[in-house]
Homo-oligomer: A and B are copies of this chain.
Amino acid sequence: MGFDANSLTYNEAGLVPAIAQDAETGEVLMMAWMNAEAVKRTLESGRVTYWSRSRQSFWIKGESSGHTQELVDFRVDCDQDCLLVTVKQIGPACHTNRRSCFYTAVRKGEEVELMAPMA
């Protein structure tokens, strides 16, 4: 069946959450947001493109940092209101220079840092 980016269920701001996962290791790297146009651009260009809520503009991941996300596979969930992109991530995905944004665990009530910034 043909895919139509407009058929996804977007929130009141016109956005859908997109989870980025390393296609090779399975590591969950980050979560950000896409609007319908970002979905189309991601699929057409093969470069993962989000909508930046803080800057209110398209955000081609890695455009300024060089830490690009090349799309490997694009998936939609059962309710069509969440996306999973598996990617080839160059360098760190997180703005703190860590590989993943999920570098803090909560264990026995305490925050534990799981990874250091990349060199």
Contacts from A to B (Cβ < 8 Å): 1-3, 17, 19, 21, 25-28, 30-31, 43, 73-79, 82, 84, 94-96, 98, 101-107, 109-111, 114
Contact = CB atoms under 8 A, between A and B. Distances in A.
A104 B82 contact: no
A119 B107 CA distance: 35
Given A31-B82, A75-B104, 4 more contacts: A76-B111, A77-B102, A79-B101, A84-B102
8 closest Cβ pairs, A-B complex: A26-B26, A77-B101, A75-B102, A84-B102, A3-B106, A31-B82, A78-B101, A74-B106
B106 A75 contact: yes
B1 A105 contact: no
Contact of A110 (B3, B103, B106): B3
Contacts of A2: 109-111
Given A96-B78, A111-B3, A73 B28 contact: no
